[in-house]
Amino acid sequence: MTEAVATVVRRTKGFYYLTTPEGQEIECKAKGSLFRNSKYDNQIAVGDKVTYQLEPGQELGMIQGVLPRKSFLSRTRVGIEVEQVIAANLDLMFLVVAAKDPEPKPGLVWRMLVAANLGSVRPVLLVTKLDLVHHHKDLPWLRPFLNIDLEILFSSKGGGADDNRLADLLGGNVSVVAGHSGVGKSSLLNRLFPDLDLKVGEVNEKTSKGSHTTTYARMLNVGPTGAVIDTPGVREFGLWNLEPKNIRDHFPLIRQFSGHCKHADCTHTHEPHCFVKAEVEAGRIDKDLYAGYVGLLEGGE
Ligand SMILES: Nc1nc2c(ncn2[C@@H]2O[C@H](COP(=O)(O)OP(=O)(O)OP(=O)(O)O)[C@@H](O)[C@H]2O)c(=O)[nH]1
Ligand SMILES: [Zn+2]
């Protein structure tokens, strides 16, 4: 019996579906010892590269181990000290925000930027529904995101100038596409990759929240060599709990100033002689960026 390597492309309770480098799909269980003494409550995530064994003549394989991850998205459940890996080995994380309908929540974008940096995933901010505003200058919340190391792309109903760039990025990388329900994630993927044929939900008139039309965890092949990982965990992003230490060490820009303050473990909030606060007062750190940081620390969205 040989051990081979494959990628986890789908997960259900207790079962994992792998795709081999030859494109064969294999259903697997995981060896129980993989879960012992683990700090993760799901040791194997979609996107993971795993070793598995498949007995000759058998249909069900057994996952033996998980190869080291180059990147990941994880969350800590509120009140529980276990980390949950949502997706593994990602190249890109698209943070999707609608220009309007539903109203943009910059707090969610900051939150996702922290999670992306924590897991070594490159973020891309995508603003959809640009057709609903006159110009992106009509989006004052966007300003603090313009001066950090972040690619920002726009899309509109029926297409946009950044469509080629989006198709290249999505079609050539493993990505997650995260953002509130109804911001237009499925619409965009369908427009760029019509073969996907994802279900598009209507925004609920009363709440301006979509109807959660996308429901299970999977990896979709898009374009020549790309894949999009779609999981319930990504959809619940707004509910993720971020540790204050992770917010401080992974918040855009602010993470670069750790060690500059008088107190080694300065949170850049109430401490005297704080380098970050001095930079904010001097106008060298955007005040809205700093407000986003404090908002996350206070647990706001
Ligand atoms: N005006 C305008 N409407 C859009 C645009 N993109 C999507 N929509 C509409 O927004 C609604 C929600 O789009 P979806 O693609 O289902 O949004 P989603 O983010 O995939 O939603 P979930 O699957 O619930 O997470 C639909 O009615 C779309 O037609 C856009 O660029 N402009
Ligand atoms: Zn400080």
Q: Report CA-CA distances (Å) from 2 to 6, 52, 61, 222.
A: 13, 8, 11, 31
If you take atom 14 of ligand 1, which residue's CA is the nearest one?
A: 184
202 lines ligand 1 (CB under 6 A): yes
Please name the residue whose Cα sits nearest to atom 22 of ligand 1: 181
pLDDT number for residue 136: 66
- Ligand 1 test: best mutation among 200, 208, 230, 231, most atoms within 8 Å of CB? 200
CATH fold, domain 86-239, is Rossmann fold (3.40.50)
pLDDT at site 278: 96
Domain limits of the chain?
3-68, 86-239, 244-297
131 annotated to a ligand binding site: yes
Q: How far apart are CA 84 and CA 86, in angstroms?
A: 6
Biggest distance spanned by C-alpha atoms of the chain: 70
pLDDT at res. 171: 97
pLDDT of residue 39: 63
Ligand 1 binding pocket includes 210 (Cβ within 6 Å): yes
User: What does DSSP assign to residue 32?
Assistant: G
pLDDT in tens, the chain (301 residues): 668 999 999 988 788 999 999 999 999 999 887 877 666 666 789 999 999 999 999 999 999 999 999 999 987 766 666 677 889 999 999 999 999 999 998 998 999 999 999 999 999 999 999 999 987 677 999 999 998 999 999 999 988 899 999 999 999 999 999 988 899 999 999 999 988 877 776 443 334 444 444 445 789 999 999 999 987 767 666 666 788 899 999 999 999 987 899 998 999 999 999 999 999 999 999 999 999 999 999 986 5
Domain 3-68 maps to which CATH number in 2.40.128.20, 2.160.10.10, 2.60.120.10, 2.40.50.140? 2.40.50.140
- DSSP assigned state of 294: H
User: 3-class SS at 6?
Assistant: strand
Beta-strand pair 25-30/60-66: parallel
Q: How far is the CA of 154 from the centre of ligand 1 (A)?
A: 14
Whole-number Å distance, alpha carbon 2 to ligand 1 midpoint, is 46
- Tokens 């993927």 locate to 189
Cα of first residue to Cα of last residue in the chain, in angstroms, is 51
**CATH 1.10.40.50 corresponds to the domain 244-297:** yes
Residue 287, amino acid: K
Q: For ligand 1, is residue 181 a contact (CB within 6 Å)?
A: yes
Cβ of 234 below 6 Å from ligand 1: no
Q: Three-class SS string for 185-207?
A: HHHHHHHHCHHHCCCCCCCCCCC
231 lines ligand 1 (CB under 6 A): no
ipTM of the complex: 0.97
